[in-house]
Amino acid sequence: MSDAILDKVRKLLAKAEDPGCTAEEAAAFTAKATDLIARYGVDRALLAARNPETDPVGDRVLEMLPPYALDKAGLLAGVAGSLRCRSVRRRSGPGRFDMHLFGFTSDLDRAELLFTSLLVQAAHGLAGTPVPLDEHPAAFRRSWLAGFTAAVAHRLRAAETAAAEDSGKAPTMALVLADRSGRVDRRLAEAYPRTSTAGARRLVGGGRGLGIAAGRRADLGDPRLTGSAGGRRGVTG
């Protein structure tokens, strides 16, 4: 059943990513996909609480390639964190980064699937957003991506909260999710006893507001949120 749900989500997101799809059609496809992703996450968490072997804690590494590798890493961190995963960014070469993700297998699957789709949606959004004549193209696009990431992460967190509350088992879900978060944190600490938090980036481009608007238009699923949205694919320079 889990494989069938994820297969349906993949097909919905593929339709949303199609360049020939209208904005309204893409929003509808993405809305349905994200609704399924959120409910899938709740169902897997409850099942794992009864049968831990069905959803073990794991990790995986995704490579962020140029251009805008650091911005792609930021998008993945925002998506993964919103879906109850943790991430560590590692420099893997000039202009390249690895993102080492930790989480329950079902949450890692959700994060990777949604991130890949959002990269495509971001690429389409950037392609349709002209760079102002007085802006440096790379600086504008980085600030646009930062705004897109902020809007998407905010809406994903809201969607996850709504799915847990709508499960009909809110008190139980709160305990289950707290326990899962603690186990993921311990797994990360075992792998990286010493980590540091990256400082906030200082972006000078003027595209953040347009990126936020695009992130909101990505329409990540729950009707109540309307008006609020492998690492090798995506944004081109």
pLDDT at position 202: 63
Q: Are 216 and 153 in contact (CB under 8 A)?
A: no
What's the whole-number mean pLDDT along residues 58-78? 95
Residue 65 DSSP symbol: P
Least confident of 59-63, 88-92, 216-220: 216-220
The pTM is what? 0.83
Spans of all domains in the chain: 2-225
Q: How far apart are CA 125 and CA 229, in angstroms?
A: 13
Confidence class of residue 145 from pLDDT cuts 50, 70 and 90? very high
Q: Please give the pLDDT value at position 74.
A: 95
How would residue 189 be classed by pLDDT, with cut points 50, 70 and 90? very high
pLDDT at site 197: 72
Which residue from 90, 86, 104, 226 is spatially nearest to 159, judged by alpha carbons?
Answer: 226
Report whether pLDDT(217) > 70: no
Percent of the chain clearing pLDDT 90 (strictly above): 46
The C-alpha atoms of residue 237 and residue 233 are separated, in whole angstroms, by 13
Coil, strand or helix at 220: coil
Q: Which of 153, 134, 155, 148 is nearest to 208 (CA)?
A: 148
